[in-house]
Amino acid sequence: MELKRTGAPAKPQTVTEATKTPGIMPLDYMISVIRDPTASRERRDKMAIAAAPYCHARVIAPEPRAPGKKEQQAEAADVAGIGTPWASDLDEIRAN
């Protein structure tokens, strides 16, 4: 028993300028349209938008990171003993 797939029929394949030229990559085609002075401004703009992710990395602002375990320990050691009777002893140790 053969099962048939239900749903929308397959879309017919269309021949575009990019598929007519053998050996040219889609990005190369987009760049050639961008550089073509006879192409309309709208078409060149659309090609530039489409090609941008492949040519330029997205810049993401680094997130401030929480202090790690070593930083937390160092900060705790710096403030340890402040306001206690042995604070002067710790100052002598820190000076050496």
Query: pLDDT tens digits, residue range 22-52?
Result: 678 889 999 999 999 999 999 999 999 999 9
Residue 51, domain extent: 17-55
Handedness of CA 68, 73, 77, 82 (dihedral sign): positive
**Would residue 72 count as lying in a domain?**
no
pLDDT of 30: 92
Does residue 95 form part of some domain? no
Domain annotation covers residue 22 = yes
Instruction: Identify the band that residue 2 occupies on the pLDDT scale cut at 50, 70 and 90.
Output: low
- Domain membership of residue 42 (yes or no) is yes
Q: Is residue 37 part of a domain?
A: yes
In angstroms, the Cα distances linking 11 to 8, 14, 60 are 8, 9, 38
Q: What is the pLDDT of residue 89?
A: 75
Residue 67 lies in a domain: no
pLDDT of residue 45: 95
Number of separate domains in the chain: 1
Determine, yes or no, domain membership for 51.
yes
Q: Per residue in 8-23, pLDDT tens? A: 666 666 666 655 666 7
